[in-house]
């Protein structure tokens, strides 16, 4: 308790000294080179328990489209499925009545087919290797965090995973490999109870995995929140961002300003392409070479 209080106070003073204070309730944030310098030295010298939140923008450099980017986002390219609204493809009620749109899409989405982790995934792994990663919360279902070597106890796949599968009626678990083969052949896998079986990715209308609620503890313990490539439009995931104390610095790395960023004194933002921002950040921390080496070694080994 005393230790936590001390950490909060010293964290606050550290943050104050490296990150510019701003008046509350004005949408303002530190950007670009100013941000990189302040945040990089904070990460290098002070941080011990970083929480990372990630979304589809983390995986676009790997070639996977995000959901909401105009033109390229998945939700803008679902015409062929004739859906009543784009999110229906991940809606459990819709799936019960018409599973085929999801089954068709899942054939493309199954992880481990052709997509590989990128430099930003390896940056998070490097945070872990440096002993600075408390937890990574991801909305992504592409499995690239696992493939980059971020260990299971550090990773919360908040919107589920393709690595397990269960019946949507009785909940019985099924062999994920058999379910995958059925889906890849264009069919829906049926349970012994006749219910549909689907990979355990979380649909709208379904509960998030229990592990997600660990964020209530993690947000109290973190000394920096890094948000990577998400529109922060989907709850309850987006709420993690607001659950960190107001005096904990937050860093957004995204193409545009999202969520509540800019309303707090210690909000910082790197606008633009995630890979470029990560490269610049790693360079300023002094990890550029190490990150490139990690990325090249791991990706060469696995291609
Ligand atoms: P979105 O598509 O809503 O947001 C992706 C964000 O990443 C946007 O703000 C993009 O501008 C940004 N972005 C994309 N590529 C980028 C790049 N190369 N560099 C920097 N920024 C980039 O995706 P999510 O926030 O992940 O849920 O969507 C959240 C949830 O909505 C998903 O998990 C999914 C969806 O419905 C379910 O399926 C349950």
Q: Domains, the chain, ranges and CATH? A: 2-60+118-159+211-302 (3.40.50.1220), 65-114+161-201 (3.30.1600.10)
Instruction: Answer yes or no: is 164 a known binding residue.
Output: no
Q: How many CB atoms lie within 10 A of CB 193?
A: 11
Q: Which protein residues touch ligand 1 with a CB less than 6 Å away?
A: 55-57, 60-61, 66-69, 73, 87, 90, 139, 159, 202, 204, 229-231, 233-234, 254-256, 258, 273-274
Predicted confidence (pLDDT) at residue 253 exceeds the cutoff of 90: yes
The DSSP output letter for 186 is T
Distance 25 CA to ligand 1 centre (A): 26
* Residue 61 confidence (pLDDT) above 70: yes
Split at pLDDT 50, 70, 90, the class of 11 is: very low
Tell me, in angstroms, the distance from the centre of ligand 1 to residue 252's CA.
Answer: 13
User: How many Å apart are CA 128 and CA 180, to the nearest integer?
Assistant: 31
> Given ligand 1 and candidates 58, 69, 237, 252, which is best to mutate, with the most ligand atoms within 8 Å of its CB?
69
Specify whether the CB–CB gap between 137 and 51 falls below 8 A. yes
For residue 266, CA distances in Å to 12, 46, 155, 260, 281 come to 10, 15, 25, 12, 17
According to DSSP, the residues that pair with 136 across neighbouring strands are: 52, 155
* Catalytic-role residue among 76, 121, 128, 159: 159
Q: What is the mean pLDDT of residues 130-135?
A: 98
Q: At 162, is the secondary structure helix, strand, or coil?
A: strand
Mean pLDDT to the nearest integer, 56-83:
91
Q: Which two tokens stand for residue 26?
A: 């004005």
Q: Is 150 exposed, middle or buried (0-12, 13-18, 19+ CB in 10 A)?
A: buried
Per the structure block, which two tokens stand in for 255? 């193409």
- Residue 217 and residue 213: Cα distance in Å, rounded? 8
This prediction's pTM:
0.89
Q: Indicate if 159 belongs to the active site.
A: yes
Which of 6-20, 247-261, 278-292 shows the lowest per-residue confidence on average (mean pLDDT)? 6-20
């Amino acid at each position: 308790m005393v230790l936590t209080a001390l950490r909060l106070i010293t964290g606050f003073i550290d943050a104050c000294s490296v990150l510019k204070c701003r008046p509350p309730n004005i949408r303002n944030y530190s950007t670009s080179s100013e941000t990189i310098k302040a945040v990089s030295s904070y990460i290098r010298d002070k941080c011990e328990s970083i929480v990372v939140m990630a979304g589809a923008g983390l995986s676009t450099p790997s070639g996977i489209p995000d959901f909401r980017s105009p033109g390229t986002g998945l939700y803008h390219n679902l015409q062929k499925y004739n859906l009543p609204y784009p999110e229906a493809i991940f809606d459990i009620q819709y799936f019960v009545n018409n599973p085929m749109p999801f089954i068709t899409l899942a054939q493309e989405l199954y992880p481990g087919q052709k997509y590989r982790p990128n430099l930003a995934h390896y940056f998070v792994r490097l945070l872990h290797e440096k002993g600075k990663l408390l937890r990574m919360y991801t909305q992504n279902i592409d499995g690239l965090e696992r493939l980059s070597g971020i260990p299971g106890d550090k990773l919360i796949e908040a919107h589920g995973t393709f690595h397990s599968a269960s019946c949507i009626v009785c909940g019985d678990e099924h062999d994920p490999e058999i379910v995958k083969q059925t889906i890849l052949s264009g069919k829906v896998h049926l349970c012994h109870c006749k219910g549909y079986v689907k990979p355990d990715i979380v649909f709208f209308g379904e509960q998030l995995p229990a592990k997600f609620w660990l964020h209530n503890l993690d947000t109290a313990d973190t000394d920096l929140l890094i948000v990577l490539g998400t529109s922060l439009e989907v709850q309850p995931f987006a709420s993690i961002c607001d659950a960190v104390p107001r005096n904990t610095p937050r860093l957004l790395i995204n193409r545009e300003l999202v969520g509540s960023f800019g309303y707090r004194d210690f909000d910082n933002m790197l606008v633009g392409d995630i890979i470029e921002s990560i490269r610049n950040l790693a360079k300023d921390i002094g990890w550029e070479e190490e990150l490139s080496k990690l990325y090249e070694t791991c990706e060469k080994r696995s291609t």
